[in-house]
Chains A and B, each alone.
Chain A
Amino acid sequence: MTLVDPELQTAAKPPYQLSPQERKFIGWHMIVAIAALFVGSLFGPLQAFEFSGLNLYQYIEPVFKSYYQGLTLHGVLNALVWTTFFIVGFTNLVVIKGLGRPLSHPKINLVGFWVMLIGLLMAAAPLLLNQATVLYTFYPPLKASWAFYLGLTLVVVGSWIEGVGFYLSMIAWRRDNKGVRSPFIAMAGVVNAAMWQIATLGIAIEILTMLLPWSLGLTDATDPQLARTYFWFTGHPLVYFWLLPAYISWYGMLPKQAGGKLFSDSLARLSFWMFLIVSVPVGFHHQFTDPGVPVVWKWIHAVLTYSVFFPSMLTAFTVIASLEYAARRRGGTGIIGWVRALPWNDPSVTSQLLAGILFMFGGVSGLTNASYNLNLVVHNTAWVPGHFHLTVATAVTMSFMGISYWLVPHITGKKLWNPKLAVAQAWVWFVGMIVFSNAMHMLGLLGAPRRTPLGEALYVPEEWEGHLLRVSIGGAILLVSLLMYVLVMLKTAIGPKADPADVPEVPIAESMRHPQLTPTWLDRFKPWLIVAGLLVVLSYGPQLVDQILNMDLNSPGTNFRPW
């Protein structure tokens, strides 16, 4: 048909630009996500202040009834809503930009988004009415309103539907591009969606077979042990669902922003496949102190948990190597001195670099949690929130904030408002989190329980007090950073349209070696999905079957509302 060499054609073709509808669609995900982060995080400082005796709950009492209602909102809005909406929106972007063409069935994604949104509104009503003060883990027999469970289910189902949209787009692209390596960021986004789909089967089954019928009055009681097993089937991979989009950015975008390239396309893919297969079969590491899970299974999951550490180590190497390459190209020198040559004046880069630095500490405390002997010291203590404020509330949240510093301008066609303030925002979060999380870790080692308003607890010994105060100080610093972030986002969104030349592009890093040189086995979904399924069956099958066969629905809970 045409005489032009197809390769030259692609080379000459400018990168696919998002259509106005696509921008809007991704934008709606971001609006919900950032609003959730804002409202959800406001409770964080309230909790932190309470620890040292500054109880502000009395002032919000007419609306929010207790520390625990606030904590439920904090957990649900931050850990579930901010993350999920951001991730699904961002995955739309990486799939579209990665494949360089629109989604194959954009209507499916539209439906998925609406289902998520309706679910969110449905869950929000009982949360705000204090009818679902069960914390974001909703362990039975704490019984929330049915609307809470149904709403959460819809959020998950909506994310599945959007996931289907991503799979179909990937399949269509592969059909049209036989023999070409699928672009890394698109592949990685789809891997995360697939992992999520497997992982969320746990809570889907928990809610549909146990919690929803019970909250509707169709059944009388629950089996709390089985419910926990279902929950943590989803609960651990949940953290990788949060983390992998940050990794997509660290591998596939940050090197470009820093002026370099992806160090190894092959190993980037390898680590995503490893996350796909080992994220799920490790959930019992959250249940080391559960009475109803045999010790041997706890041990198996503990060992498997260490294998998740491997792709994290790969990531550390590849990401740092990519950054070092970028920094040396910019004239950086020295063994560590090159770090200074990175573009620290770019808020997106700074935010993600600081995220990565604190993530190393989060990784160390995570390894501690995963050792089932050390876990006995820290389980359900303040150490644990200390740990995951380094991971989800920093590594993930700061990376997403960093991404939003180019993404929001990109989809709105504006310039980032006050980039200097944005750089400062990242540093303030970093400092606040160091203070906050160090104090939380210390409190945990001293035995302070989590999920507890320690300011009002009667058993608090004097030696905790300095740390409790540091939690409050850290919380105050974090509050300042949060407000700076929301201000920058708002001012950017309502600012004037910018000259297209000033609007940031989507940064997509090239890899040092041509991706076509990556072996085909690192670009095939089927074998990895099969291995993932097999591992899940092996690591969970026997225990799940056992717990289901021995299910005893004998726990009705309390006959009064316990909160």
Chain B
Amino acid sequence: MTDLDDRPAEPDLPEPYLEIDPYEKNWMRVSIVLLVAFAAAITVAGFAAGFQLPGPESRVDPRTLLDTEPWKTPGVFEVAEGEYEAYVVAQAWSFSPLEIVVPVGADVTIYVTSSDLQHGFKITDTNINMMVLPGQVSKLEYTFDEVGEFPYLCTEYCGQGHAAMYGRVTVLSQADYDARTADTEATDASGSEG
């Protein structure tokens, strides 16, 4: 406060102090309580309620991606009873595969990467929403408990064909799924014969 000494004017001013209006003090308290509550809520959701976000999974070289397994043959694979892994490559301007077919109740771990530009991958009506960057693998897991079609859209601008870039997850009832599997096996077999 010594600074003030070279200010002879207004000698009647009291020492400076932080004065906060009582209403404003309460408002500040409420704000802090709210913020702490919000922060606690996301913390609980994030670390206790099994909520997931994409995080470092693995890295790839986009220049050789399409010659490397599993990205060479993207698709969905059953890895254990009811558990699936889907590998999706985003490339200007389509996803491959264009369709992921699973039976209802399937627990699918989805891995996506890009061989060229940045893309987005969001499955409508689910919590699957991730950035897709060349060089990085994005991963999230989801259990499809409902029969139906869930389009996945590219949600990041990637050039002229961006609006045409989408595919879909088709969730079938177990019976339909089994019938379809039998069908594809049959065509595969007849295909190799002919």
Contact = CB atoms under 8 A, between A and B. Distances in A.
Contact of A178 (B1, B6, B42): B6
A558 B166 CA distance: 19
A6 B8 CA distance: 9
Given A299-B46, A552-B135, A517 B118 contact: no
Contacts of B45: 373
A365 to B, nearest CB: 14
A446 to B, nearest CB: 8
A7 B9 contact: yes
B28 interface: yes
Contacts of A554: 61-63, 134-135
A459 B163 CA distance: 9
Interface in B127-173: 127, 129-139, 151, 153-160, 162-164, 166
A558 B47 CA distance: 39
B159 A224 contact: no
A463 B7 CA distance: 69
Interface in A418-455: 447, 449-454
Contacts of A480: none
B80 interface: no
Interface string A536-563: 0000000000000000101111100011
B186 interface: no
Contacts of A68: 157, 159-160, 162
B69 interface: no
B122 A519 contact: no
Given A373-B45, A458-B164, A563-B159, A379 B54 contact: no
A488 interface: no
B156 A380 contact: yes
Interface in B83-135: 92, 116-118, 120, 122, 124-125, 127, 129-135
A367 B46 contact: no
A451 B162 contact: yes
Contacts of A514: 10, 13
B191 interface: no
A201 B133 CA distance: 23
A64 to B, nearest CB: 14
A563 B158 CA distance: 8
A317 B24 contact: yes
A555 B92 CA distance: 14
A555 B134 contact: yes
A20 B156 CA distance: 48
Contact of A377 (B3, B129, B134, B164): B129
A520 B18 CA distance: 10
Interface stretch (A145-153, A287-295, A329-337): A287-295
B16 interface: yes
Interface string B64-91: 0000000000000000000000000000
Given A7-B9, A179-B3, A373-B51, A309 B129 contact: no
Most central of A287, A373, A552 by chain B CB within 10 Å: A373
A105 B85 CA distance: 64
Contacts of A291: 54-57, 130-133, 136-139
Contacts of A552: 59, 61, 135
Contacts of B7: 178-180, 516
Interface residues of A, number: 80
A20 to B, nearest CB: 33
B179 interface: no
Contacts of B163: 452-454, 456-458
B53 interface: yes
Interface in A283-328: 287-295, 298-299, 302-303, 306-307, 309-310, 313-314, 317-318, 321
Contacts of A517: 13-14, 16-17, 19
Given A292-B133, A317-B24, A7 B10 contact: yes
B188 interface: no
Contacts of B151: 459
Contact of A224 (B3, B9, B135, B160): B135
B122 A295 contact: no
Contacts of B5: 179
Given A225-B133, A295-B46, 14 more contacts: A7-B8, A225-B136, A267-B20, A306-B39, A313-B27, A314-B31, A373-B42, A381-B155, A518-B18, A519-B17, A552-B59, A554-B61, A554-B134, A562-B92
Interface of B: 1, 3-10, 13-14, 16-21, 23-24, 27-28, 31-32, 35, 38-39, 41-43, 45-47, 51, 53-57, 59, 61-63, 92, 116-118, 120, 122, 124-125, 127, 129-139, 151, 153-160, 162-164, 166
12 contacts: A266-B20, A267-B20, A287-B131, A299-B43, A380-B131, A449-B154, A458-B163, A517-B13, A520-B1, A552-B59, A554-B61, A555-B62
A-B complex: 6 closest residue pairs judged by Cβ atoms: A562-B159, A7-B9, A179-B3, A380-B155, A291-B138, A313-B31
